[in-house]
């Protein structure tokens, strides 16, 4: 019966493995990967609870370790890997919160826009309704109402336009508004 052969790198200290990694040893890197992958993964999973994202974060930590091996000063491989994944988790959560906040702002802007559009449509519909109801007014009251309320002229300007006194213009306007209020009130009760 053959004994399982133990790879010599499994007996090396982290410091010695790091020295080998800095000297471009793939075997030493693989040993660190095998030694710490599960630990870093489990600890990171406790923070994020999403396996796929955690796998990506842990994988990225090992990639950074390999790619920056000549630039990094690492005293403890385990602590470095845990620190870099912890930073990546905080960065991920922060990014998700920023995205969620922006999405919320966009939804709110969209809702406001929809409300504004709805308000505009409702105003136009009401204006059309009032205009069609004004058709049923006596001719002079109809003209004074449209000139003053729908076209935005003052009572004085309306009186001058129709060559009547301001009091007469006010009388026609009062009569038109009273009639329209009654009709709109009846319509409102009918809609309910």
Tokens describing residue 129: 């309704």
End-to-end CA distance of the chain: 92
**pLDDT tens-digit series, residues 14-48:** 999 999 999 999 999 999 999 999 999 999 999 99
pLDDT of the residue at 105:
80
**pLDDT tens-digit series, residues 137-177:** 888 888 887 888 778 889 899 899 889 998 998 888 888 87
Question: Among residues 136, 129, 142, which one has the least CA distance to residue 190?
Answer: 129
| pTM of the predicted protein model | 0.52
Question: Among residues 130, 146, 143, which one has the least CA distance to residue 179?
Answer: 130
Packing angle, helices 166-191 and 77-134, rounded to 10: 120
- Gyration radius from the chain CA atoms: 39
Question: Among residues 118, 63, 114, which one has the least CA distance to residue 88?
Answer: 63
Question: Distance between CA 99 and CA 14 in Å, rounded?
Answer: 39
* C-alpha distances in Å from residue 180, one per residue of 122, 153, 183, 190: 18, 19, 5, 15
| pLDDT beyond 70 at 186 | no
Question: Distance between CA 117 and CA 114 in Å, rounded?
Answer: 5
The pLDDT confidence band at residue 187, using thresholds 50, 70 and 90, is: low
pLDDT of the residue at 192:
44
């Amino acid at each position: 019966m053959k004994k399982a052969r133990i790879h010599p790198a499994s007996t090396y200290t982290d410091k010695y493995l790091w020295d080998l990694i800095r000297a471009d040893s793939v075997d030493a890197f693989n040993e660190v990967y095998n030694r710490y992958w599960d630990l870093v993964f489990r600890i990171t999973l406790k923070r994020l609870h999403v396996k796929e994202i955690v796998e990506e974060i842990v994988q990225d930590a090992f990639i950074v370790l390999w790619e920056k091996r000549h630039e990094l000063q690492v005293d403890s491989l385990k602590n470095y890997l845990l620190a870099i994944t912890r930073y990546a988790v905080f960065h991920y959560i922060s990014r998700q919160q920023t995205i969620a906040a922006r999405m919320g702002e966009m939804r709110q802007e969209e809702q406001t826009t929809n409300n504004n559009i709805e308000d505009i449509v409702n105003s136009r519909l009401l204006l059309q309704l009032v205009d069609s109801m004004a058709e049923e007014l006596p001719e002079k009251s109809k003209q004074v109402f449209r000139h003053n309320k729908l076209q935005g002229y003052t009572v004085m300007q309306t009186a001058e336009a129709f060559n009547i006194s301001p009091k007469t213009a006010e009388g026609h306007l009062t009569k038109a508004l009273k009639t329209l209020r009654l009709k709109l009130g009846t319509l409102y009760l009918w809609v309910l």
